[in-house]
Structure 1
Amino acid sequence: MAKNIVITGGSSGIGVACAEAAVASGHRVALVARSQDKLDQIVAKLGEENAIAVQCDVTKPAEQEAMFEKVLAHFGTIDAVFANAGLGASATGTEHGDVDNFHEMILVNNFAVTVTCKFAIPHLRKTKGQLVLIGSQAGHVALSGSVYSATKWFIRGYAKNLSNELIEHGVRVTSIDPGMVDTPFFDEPKPTALRPEDIGKAFAYIIDLPEHARIAELEIYPTVGAHHS
């Protein structure tokens, strides 16, 4: 059965790959990001019968609330939400890091995710849907002084907390925790890293699980090297 899926951070990288995989599996997607032009191009590629674009700054709760209402008005129901928007570090560690970057990372990687989840929950309770969060291998290891890593430890713990809150309502929560993925997230190509399509396949697998099954946490790493995303 076709599902209606919301994907934040839907204008590039993992978000696009997951949208493509979901549409290939027969689902419909609402792509959410700040760049309307990029979103429109992706929707044109996926087909307007399969996808819609909703411009939204996820750090602004009012815009997220309006986004969910637009998606609901278009699709009628919401069956899955992928809190995928994220931001990386501009420098290594805390001592040499940039305070403005710390603020923006925590705002996007943590605060915005909690807002996405809050507004998603009422819709997902009605459909007994799925809530997927983008974590990282960096949330499984202690990276020296890394604020980015700490934001991903938050995601890992928050996903477990959400699962405890929502499981009695039939809502399944999954954290996808990839190793390094070759996306625009990095300034240079990463030839030994995972590809966005690898995460897309994992996402489609999670979305297509039968209702009696759930994956709490999915770690997916490249086979070459010990890279951290």
Structure 2
Amino acid sequence: MAKTLLITGASSGIGAATAKAAAKAGWNVALLARSAESLDTLAEEIGDAALAIPCDVTDRQALVEAVEQTTARFGKLDAVYANAGTGVNSPGIEQGDPDEWHDLIHINILAVLYTAHATLPELRKTKGQFIVTGSKAGREHFKGSVYSATKWFVHGFAGNLAEEMREFGGRCCVISPGMVNTAFFDEPKPSKLQPEDIADAVVFTLEQPDTSSVREIHLMPND
């Protein structure tokens, strides 16, 4: 039976590239994002190995139902890629927008926690993997960056979750990229990391033998 990967933030960018790469490697993929139209287009491109599930990842019940739909369709859940994330328009603390921080924290922190909480019971059954998108910004300090602070949380959480999952033979990895050419930026960044580069790192992690636990992959642009 093919293994199954659930991806949040799957409708574009890194998430969509990972879905295509994982499907090419023989995985079933459950695609979660808020944009039903984009998900349907991606699922149609991938074919029968894909399941589109419109889902707000800040909604705990919606995530629980998404996991139920995934296991009902594919029979099990072997891995999760918590990729959904966002940034802010107002940098700094003094001039920052607390309303933006609220949304940022819900997506970059709470949604990761909710995703782990909803999927760990299934991952325990398969001794599966939990992968999460971190950032260079979660390894270095950036002046007044609340976004960076959320990614520091992600990196710390991934390490702690790895220790928890180790108790049942599961694994957790944080994928830590520098600048990636996605819609996150207003202008294209063709010389920077591409979504496919991150997707390749995720698939590499997924395909490691049971004896190997990759805890972090840190990628930087070669420019």
TM interval, short-chain normalised: over 0.9
Query: Could you say what secondary structure the match of 1:52 adopts?
Result: strand
> 2:209 is aligned with what amino acid?
P
Deviation at 1:93, TM superposition (A): 1.5
Encode CA deviations 1:92-140: one digit per residue, 9 max, x unaligned: 2212221111010100000011000011110001000100011000001
Deviation at 1:211, TM superposition (A): 1.0
- What is the identity percentage for the equivalent residue pairs of Structure 1 and Structure 2? 48
Structure 2: segments with no counterpart, 5+ residues: none
Query: Could you say what secondary structure the match of 1:169 adopts?
Result: coil
User: Which residue does the alignment assign to 1:34?
Assistant: 34
Please give the alpha-carbon distance, in whole angstroms, between the structure 2 residues aligned to 1:25 and 1:166.
24
Question: What pairs with 1:1-229 in structure 2 (closer than 5 Å)?
Answer: 2-47=2-47, 49-224=48-223
Please give the alpha-carbon distance, in whole angstroms, between the structure 1 residues aligned to 2:159 and 2:26.
29
Please give the alpha-carbon distance, in whole angstroms, between the structure 2 residues aligned to 1:177 and 1:95.
28
Please give the alpha-carbon distance, in whole angstroms, between the structure 2 residues aligned to 1:2 and 1:130.
15
How many residues get paired? 223
Encode CA deviations 1:1-23: one digit per residue, 9 max, x unaligned: 73100000000100001111101
> 1:9 is aligned with what amino acid?
G
Please give the alpha-carbon distance, in whole angstroms, between the structure 1 residues aligned to 2:206 and 2:11.
20
Query: Could you say what secondary structure the match of 2:160 adopts?
Result: helix
Structure 1 runs of 4+ aligned residues shifted over 6 Å read: none
Encode CA deviations 1:68-95: one digit per residue, 9 max, x unaligned: 1111111110000001000012122212
> 1:21 is aligned with what amino acid?
A
> 1:14 is aligned with what amino acid?
I
TM-score, with normalisation over the residues of structure 2?
A: 0.98
Structure 1: segments with no counterpart, 5+ residues: 225-229
Query: Could you say what secondary structure the match of 1:212 adopts?
Result: coil
Please give the alpha-carbon distance, in whole angstroms, between the structure 1 residues aligned to 2:193 and 2:96.
26
Query: Could you say what secondary structure the match of 2:167 adopts?
Result: helix
Please give the alpha-carbon distance, in whole angstroms, between the structure 1 residues aligned to 2:200 and 2:213.
16
TM-score, with normalisation over the residues of structure 1?
A: 0.95
Please give the alpha-carbon distance, in whole angstroms, between the structure 1 residues aligned to 2:61 and 2:27.
27
> 1:50 is aligned with what amino acid?
A
Deviation at 1:158, TM superposition (A): 0.1
Query: Could you say what secondary structure the match of 1:144 adopts?
Result: coil
Query: Could you say what secondary structure the match of 1:88 adopts?
Result: coil
> 1:11 is aligned with what amino acid?
S
